[in-house]
Every structure is written in structure tokens, then in C-alpha cells.
Structure 1
Amino acid sequence: MTAREEPVLPHTDEPVLLHTDGRAAHITLNRPKALNALTHAMVRGIDAALTAWAQDPAVETVVITGAGDRGLCAGGDIRAVHDDARDGDGTASAAFWRDEYHLNARIARYPKPYVAVMDGIVMGGGVGISAHGAVRVVTERSRIAMPETGIGFVPDVGGTYLLALAPGELGTHLALTGAPIGAGDALLCGLADHCVPSASLPRLIADLADTPVRDVLARYVQPPPPGELAERQGWIDACYGADTVEEIVDRLSGHGDPAAKEAAETLLTKAPTALKVTLAALRRARRLGALERVLDQEYRVSCRALTTPDLVEGIRAQVIDKDRDPRWSPATLAEVTGADVAGFFASLGPRELGLAGPDTTPEVAW
């Protein structure tokens, strides 16, 4: 791959399309039938492109979009993770996450404006390749979520970092329930920066060929559709500020707002272990600070999840068999001990991700 290659024909089967248009370099995720879910090869291809473009003086801006009309990216290829956890030794998934988390950190510190077009569905790994970017554009079609607790997993790709920074306990609510949010709530929670009508995206992207991103945004940014979380933050902060998941569920169940009771019912369908580990991960992320330290923690948690039955069972129930009836182990919150949770955060020794260093600095902002 070269830093200045010609556009790839739209009918290509390549999972990542790379081309330049004037002073803008473009990444297009090209697995529309799989809602552009990320494979290991895609992660490596994106990383290689960013490495080349960072040193190319002809490239001023990088833009990432998704092929098809459904969304940017539905996450990682969790079928591959399921098969590796069930039939393999987990090394393939660990290697995928290692490269993916390195890519997330690279995006957060990219030396040029990285414009993520978060139109349509953006979930899991899709959040990782967009919400760490310097310029994050949502539309009236955006549906953004970190739904990992529903498959026996824990928010990763820097998701616990992003959600820990959301106002009050909004991030806790989103992380535990996996609830999707639209443009207005994404802006409120700090997962996006600008709202642009989806019909204006082709013109916005074309204008980046010869115009700086700040000037282009000024032409197209509009107020977002109204969200839901601002008016719910009172009960969200009161309920999710509890020290344990059990107490959170009790507070939600006892609250008078129907939406709070609905959230309690939702939590009781999620993997009990994943819920407790997610809460601990979010609280730890607030103290860790820099993204790299949080990604190091997430890598420990993700690798540990590979050894538990819930990840395989959750993916089976939600994605493969689609019976929506996972049998979690342990089956209840009360059965998940403090020692169980602590085990997810234990050092991996020589297998640590090792992103954080003493000179870790804040992310790049434009």
C-alpha cells in the first residue's frame, strides 16, 4: 500500500477501501452485508494506512466511513471470537484485540484531523474506530451503543474510558444496559462532536478534498434531534451512583419513573458477571486517567473473558442461534463474588498490552 493510491473500484471485495481525494485520505469499511464488522486483517490495514498518511505531507485530513446504508460498523467479528473461545485456545482473539486496542490509541493521538462519519449503526468496535477521533460526526440516523454485557462481555476498545468521562452516571447506565443512543445523547455524553444531516454527508466529504475540516463543518453542522438522557439524568445519577450492581437494580426498581423500572428489568437479562466487572472497570477507569492505561486494563479483562463460559454462551444466544435465551454462569448477581471480579483485573505478566508509559499524554484535539 502506498500513501497516495488511486480510488479502488466500488465493486471490489476488499474489506477496507483506501483512496485519496485531493488533500483528504479516505478509509471505507467494506463489509456491508456484515454491517462492516471488523476483522483482524481490517484492523491491520487501517493501521498501516494511518501510519503511511501520518508522514505524507499531501494528506491533510483522514476520513473514515462505512459502505452500505446501514451504518459505519457493528463492532468486531464476534463469530470469530466465539469460535476461538469455544474451539481454540484464545490466542487469535487476544492477538486481534492487541492490534485493535493499539489502533484505538493511535486514532486518539493521530497528528492530523481524523474525521469519523458515525452515520447509522455504530456499536462496540465501531465506537473504537470513531469515538476516539478528533472530529466525530453523527446524523439523525446514528444509533450508538456498547452492548457487550448482553453477550457476556465487557465494554472494550476504550469504551470504559469514554463512558467514564460522560456526565454524572450516564456512562454507567449506557455501559450496563447496552442501550443505544441517538445524535443528541451522543453529543451530551461526549461520544460525538457535531451533528450533520445525513443527506449532507456526500457534500461534506467531497469538500474535504480542498478545504480544512473546520471550514467545511461550518457549512453543514445543524442542531441534533432531541435526546432522552438529559431529562432522565436525575434518576440515572441517583440510581447508578450506588456501589454495587445489586443496589443499582434495587434503586432502579424502587424508583417511580417507568424508564427506571425498565432499566432494572433490562439489567436482569444481562450476564451477571459482565455487569459486575463492567461497573468495576468504569470506576477504575475514572482513576486511571489516560486512555492507554484504560486500554491496558481492558485487555486484561477481555483476555480473562475468553476463559469464561458466558462469552461463548452470550454470542451463541444473541448472534448464532438467536434464541435470545442465554444461560449465564453464574446465573445471578448474588453468585458473583468479589474474587470473581478481581480475577478479571489480574496482571497478564509477559502478555500485558503495555500501551501506557510514564510519558503518556492527553489525546490530540483539533
Structure 2
Amino acid sequence: METSEEILIRRQGHLGHLILNRPKAMNALTHGMVTAMTQALAQWADNDSVVTVLLTGAGDRGLCAGGDIVAIYRDALAQGEATARFWADEYRLNAMIARYPKPYVAVMDGVVLGGGVGVSAHASLRVVTERTKVGMPETGIGFVPDVGGTWLLSRAPGELGTHVALTAGTITGADAIALGLADHFVDSAGLPALAEALAQADAAEAVRAMERNSFPPSDLAAQREWVDACYASDSVEEILGALQACPVPAARAAAEAILAKSPSALKVTLASLRRARQLPNLEAVLDQEYRVSLRALAGPDMAEGIRAQVIDKDRTPRWTPPLLHEVTAADVGEYFADLGPRELGLSSELHVRS
């Protein structure tokens, strides 16, 4: 076993086990953790004695609460380059996980937010439990779903992914399966036994053996009728109007949640989802997300959102601009402009490899 402050890398039988190890920070990802995961996965891909990879989180609160946004906040104020480098390596890791040549089992137990979705929901086998709470909370801090989140949410049934992205809410394990973000439901009490089984047996067989035959239905999937109707538009203003006019209480609650978010982030998020639907693969979407992320980092709302939610915790962000109609189509379009030499280039690398 190799240990560091932030990640544990273990071998047991035919299993390579990665454990995110910042339980006091709900295993929030740092650049060092991303680098360690990438190196371990690269080594195990060429090691015939490693048959399966398992990802879990230390502690009992969750797999991962996302990226270390305090570090991102400080870098944004300093106008540094650390966050851009972190995201470049993180998005490369997300793409690596999605195309990993061996079974990669992600245990999405407890809280799984933002970057935590990126290291788990692209896995070949995704396990949720009765404690799972999955979310992409970016619009609440003036940011836009990344780590391949717009790829995943744009391909969820109907407009369920649009609802999750704009409201920045969390969903259950059953919801995650219904949205295509997870595959298997296992009782949290059975997770130690699952890890033992993965060290000895075929990954898919081990997961199926531990899977619950039945689990609570998805509450979110049951609401598809009003969700699909209200979120059909490509305009945030029109979506809000439909939600506010809908007689379903959950729709009006969704409108209230959306109105509290950054107007710029909302419009760029919706545009990102609609564009992601038309892109051919995860790599192209990650390239797009990198452009958007760097523009968001340079703008005023992300630092302000983190300040309000995490630093000062006054929960009263002052968005710039403060109103939806003040965010123009031209403003949104600038987020998607080519970065020139700073392009991430994952789709180009994929083309070369293929």
C-alpha cells in the first residue's frame, strides 16, 4: 500500500483500489490527487496482474464533494494559472476513465458532487447506495457544469438533465440510475464485501451478486411530464416562465431555485447542454467545457459565488450582471470561442489515436 495525505493506492489480489483520502474536506479533489490517480491508472492499464480498478472515498460522508473550490477561489483572485492546469489534467483524467481498458468500478456512496461525478460517472460500472446524493452544483457558485457533466446531463432522458443542471440540486441513487449517471444499487452495508469480491471475481459478476433486486423508484423520473414540458425551450427566460406557470408545486420550487443562481452561469449552462447534445464524443465536450471554464474563471461571478457560499458564507452573492435579460447572446457566445494555443485538444488527440 502506498499512502499520502490525499490518496491511498492499494493492491488486493487482482484489484487496484484508489481511495480518495481527504475525509475532513469530503474528499474534495486537489491537483495532486488527480495526478496520483492518473499515474496509477496508467500503470495498471499495462499491468496484467491488475484486472479491475475500484474507486471509493474515505470516511462516511461521501465519495467526493468536487474540486477544492477554496484553492480555485484564491487562484482566481490572484489571476493565476494553477486552476487552468488543474482542470486540464482533471478533464484528461475524466476522458481516461471513460475509455479505460479494464473494468473501473466507482462506488458513488454518500455525497458525489461536481468533480466527484467526473471521476465516477464515466466509469464502466457505477454503484450507488441508499445514501447517495449526486449533484452538479456549479450554477450556485457562478460556474457551469464541467468534468463531462454536460455530456452526461445532455444525454439524460428528456429534460431531466437540464433540470438538474439549472437548479443545481442533488438527486438520489435511484434518480442517478434513471438519468444514466449510475448502473447498480447496492446497500451501503455491503460495500466492504463488494470490495472483497472484486479482488477475486469478475467485476460485473461481483457487482451483480451484491446488487439489490429492488430499490425505491426514482422520484425525479416520475416528474418527467412537467420537466420535459417546462425545460423544452433553449431560453432560460422561457423555461422560467413555463415553470412559474406550471401548477405543479415542484415546478414553482424549481423556478425559485433557478432565480437564485448566476444569470450568466444559467445562460451559459443551458447553451453548453444544447451544444453538448450535438457533439460526437466526451472528448469534444470536455474541450468545450475547458473553454467555458476558463472564461468563467476569468469573469466576476465564480469568485463571487464561492465567496458567498464558502468563504464568507453570507449566501448573498452579487451577480454581474444581476438580471437574466442583461446577459446577451453575444455574451454567451464568447464563452465558447476557440482558445487558440490554450485549447485542451482532447478531441484532436482522440482523432490521432484512432
Match of 2:69 in 1: 78
CA contact (8 A) 2:156 2:180 kept: yes
Distance 1:339 1:194 in 2: 42
Structure 2: which 5+ runs fail to align? none
Match of 1:59 in 2: 50
Match of 2:19 in 1: 28
CA contact (8 A) 2:167 2:254 kept: yes
- Decide which of 103, 118, 129 is 2:119's aligned counterpart: 129
Distance 1:345 1:127 in 2: 23
Helix, strand or coil at the partner of 1:227: coil
CA contact (8 A) 1:23 1:209 kept: yes
Match of 2:101 in 1: 111
CA contact (8 A) 1:156 1:298 kept: yes
Tell me how far 1:225 sits from its aligned partner.
2.2
Match of 2:206 in 1: 216
CA contact (8 A) 2:283 2:350 kept: no
Tell me how far 1:359 sits from its aligned partner.
5.4
- Decide which of 338, 345, 348 is 1:354's aligned counterpart: 345
1:215-253 deviation line (CA, Å, top 9, x unaligned): 212211112322211221101000100120000000000
- Decide which of 225, 235, 247 is 1:256's aligned counterpart: 247
Aligned residues: 351
Once the two structures are superposed, the pairs formed by residues 138-287 of structure 1 within 5 Å of their partners are 138-222=128-212, 223-287=214-278
Amino acid at match of 1:354: G
CA contact (8 A) 1:78 1:315 kept: yes
Alignment of 1:296 onto 2:287: yes
Tell me how far 1:140 sits from its aligned partner.
0.3
Helix, strand or coil at the partner of 1:248: helix
Distance 1:359 1:219 in 2: 35
CA contact (8 A) 2:34 2:93 kept: yes
Give me the CA root mean square deviation: 1.2
TM-score with structure 1 setting the length: 0.94
Identity of aligned residues (%): 60
Match of 1:309 in 2: 300
* Structure with the higher fraction of residues in helix conformation: 2
Distance 1:193 1:181 in 2: 14
Distance 1:304 1:218 in 2: 43
